[in-house]
Structure 1
């Protein structure tokens, strides 16, 4: 086993996860091999150490580790948010550590801060012939078959649909910038993989004059430079944390970052908008609403 093997494994995981339903968009981690040697008094075992540097807000894709790999992780700098197997999502700060059993799944591994970098030291005790230390986990729904609408929920439950529409109307008159809200709707729909809502909100943003260069980078907004304002970055980060609540737990760091930009009412209204779009995504996906683009093809 070589350090190159480990770095390549992380890179392959990242590439395999990339896509609209990926949980960890905005990935910008750097893996640096630090040590790789067979353990002399334990035949067949090796010790491998790597440093993982995370840019602000960056994350590793969800992944599983080799069935032979026992892992010790130590936060060198900053704060790392981590979820191992079915355990709680936790934030570990500089000087804190945790361990992962062989074959562990790592659904959350990211910088807990959107403004400061973080560094993690990962030490593997692993079978020397175990060449693949990191395997990507598939995330998001698989819906490769052509879509056919299952039912028209607006017709079946008009009262419920009207109630959702009332929340939508509230958001529109809440004072939040309309373009900002549509960007959030688009990002939430990317995470959930909702084709109907992706089509709708992309069209809405184009009508508002948003350039295609910006739309193309919504999924990777952290790397979008000056294309995204401070307010848009804060809204998109909050939308990701709230939408992925089962993984993130919406930590204090995410709340504090959002509150540094939005006042109390703005943040509540923004969270209502995020929750609404998650609801619409689930309705459209569950009942197979067909995107306008499909109707026009």
Structure 2
């Protein structure tokens, strides 16, 4: 079955609620610039894994479609993408650095991991998750990672709220 046949067979039955980029073009352009700034200094494979994992958690079908296609086009394996939703049980597919980034992605995306604020600055992103990431990333790279996670969460909120339709994106289309 070709991609065209697959798309036709599973064509979405809904339309977007709102074409937000058309109605808020300056916000869209700012998001594109923010996204480009956030990716600076990050490994492209890691960047796509983070975007896919946050999009899985947020149930953003459009972003899942986009970033899975981008990751595949960049040479990521189907196996690692498929296992990402069960990364804690599939740790052997990822490096320690990738695992730290994926854990941080979940903590920042969900923001319910911590139950109370501690004197050491803990809270909703548990200290152990943050500290693990800090072990694997230099401060500047960690700042970029946090920015990338924050940006994909913003994109996900636009996508889910406006019901952006997956299935039409081609790698490189929105770079």
Q: Normalization by structure 1: what TM-score?
A: 0.48
Aligned to 2:16: 149
Equivalent position SS for 1:259 = helix
Equivalenced residue count is: 149
Q: Structure 1 or 2: larger helix share?
A: 2
**Which protein shows a greater Rg?**
1
Q: 2:127 aligns with which of 225, 247, 252?
A: 252
**In the TM superposition, what are the counterparts of 1:113-128 in structure 2 within 5 Å?**
none
Contact 2:38 2:151 in 1 (8 A): no
Unpaired segments of 5 or more residues in structure 2?
Answer: 1-11, 115-123, 170-175
Unpaired segments of 5 or more residues in structure 1?
Answer: 1-144
How much is the aligned-residue C-alpha RMSD, in angstroms? 1.6
Deviations 1:254-273 (A, max 9, x none): 11111111111111110111
Higher relative contact order (CA 8 A, sep 6+): 2
**In the TM superposition, what are the counterparts of 1:94-109 in structure 2 within 5 Å?**
none
Aligned to 1:79: none
Equivalent position SS for 1:217 = helix
2:96 paired with 1:233: no
Aligned to 2:141: 266
**In the TM superposition, what are the counterparts of 1:121-136 in structure 2 within 5 Å?**
none
Deviations 1:150-193 (A, max 9, x none): 11111101111111111111123x21101100000000000000
What is the alpha-carbon distance in structure 2 between the residues aligned to residue 154 and residue 162 of structure 1? 8
**In the TM superposition, what are the counterparts of 1:51-200 in structure 2 within 5 Å?**
146-172=13-39, 174-200=40-66
Q: Identify the range of structure 1 (145-154 vs 280-289) with the bigger mean alpha-carbon deviation.
A: 145-154
